[in-house]
Structure 1
């Protein structure tokens, strides 16, 4: 891929990565509960999912999913159910006092692996990600150059921009920790984030292939 083309594409991919969505809200929530570094490590799960979806798109299966109402809806409703589950689970979380949790040596009830798995599940079950790789990426290709090589460069660039965006969301979450150091603050946080995930599931339920 020519450097000039990459310099034009990279800012677009960065904007796509910074757009609000379930994965970025998850990074922010993990930043609040576990810190920016822990939230950033969990993004590996998100990028593993995106790598799989990019491979699916390269093989042409992404176009089949996007063009098929049945398969698009299968992916979509898996995402809807999973986001709704996360929302309800977060809403019902105990409003633990953050200070007492830290003094007890326990900052969050989940592990690095669980946060990574959650990022993966949210990303892999979002058909909008398939739309990006199937419909948006091809528009940025120079057809006079090697298409697989360009797709690889764009894919790696997108994964890097996902880390950058997640870091800023997680850092913002870390800065909010001072607001939730009480049981009441934790309750407000859990209910707010639970509501966000349920709302995200509703938006995904209304999503179409257009």
Structure 2
């Protein structure tokens, strides 16, 4: 993978990592309760789950991309649909998102880092959207003129680093973000801005080719 390609994809991976979701809401909650360091340590759990899901995806990645234009198109349009879906969902989400997350996932103050890591792991491993990211979106970041496996490894490591940064940001900004979430107008502005970025990303992905 060239340096220029890596630099180009980093902002996109950070956008994925920073998007609102169960793991980031958990990091925010952990930050409110015990500080951003706790959020970062707990993110070990989500990244362990993501490493497993990425390995599962990578096992059949090369054959799907290289051998079939049809399957490449299928994967590509799954990625477009996913980005468009989360963009619209984020745009339309209500100001009660945090309360709903707490009630659905049973987030509570945990007494140890081990339990927080375990919680993040199970939230991530049970999220079907994660496997779709690795199988439908990551392939669009690859240069098909060079070996696929090393590129996928670099993308995976970069994504997991972005997840640690995201956990820190949500943790250190927990109280401020909660203030925005308690305000319906503030949450609407935040969600519309993030939603617009994902819709834009879906449009860019739709124009991509097999190379």
SS in 2 for 1:7: helix
SS in 2 for 1:8: helix
Q: CA deviation at 1:39?
A: 1.1
RMSD over aligned CA atoms reads: 2.8
Alignment of 1:43-62 (within 5 A): 43-60=43-60
SS in 1 for 2:118: helix
SS in 2 for 1:162: helix
Unaligned 5+ runs, structure 2? 65-73, 76-99, 183-211
Deviates more, 1:36-45 or 1:168-177: 168-177
Unaligned 5+ runs, structure 1? 68-83, 94-107, 180-187, 189-210
TM-score normalized with structure 2 length: 0.62
Q: State the distance in 2 between where 1:60 and 1:119 align.
A: 26
Q: Which residue of 1 aligns with 2:10?
A: 10
Q: Which residue of 2 aligns with 1:149?
A: 150
Q: CA deviation at 1:166?
A: 1.0
Q: Which residue of 2 aligns with 1:87?
A: 103
Q: State the distance in 2 between where 1:114 and 1:138 align.
A: 33
Alignment of 1:9-158 (within 5 A): 9-60=9-60, 87=103, 90=106, 108-158=109-159
SS in 2 for 1:110: coil
Q: Is the 8 A contact 1:27 1:43 kept in 2?
A: yes
Q: Which residue of 1 aligns with 2:171?
A: 170
Cα displacement string for residues 151-194 of structure 1 (whole angstroms, at most 9, x for unaligned residues): 000000000011111111000115679x9xxxxxxxx9xxxxxx
Bigger Rg, which one: 1
Q: Which residue of 2 aligns with 1:159?
A: 160
TM-score normalized with structure 1 length: 0.62
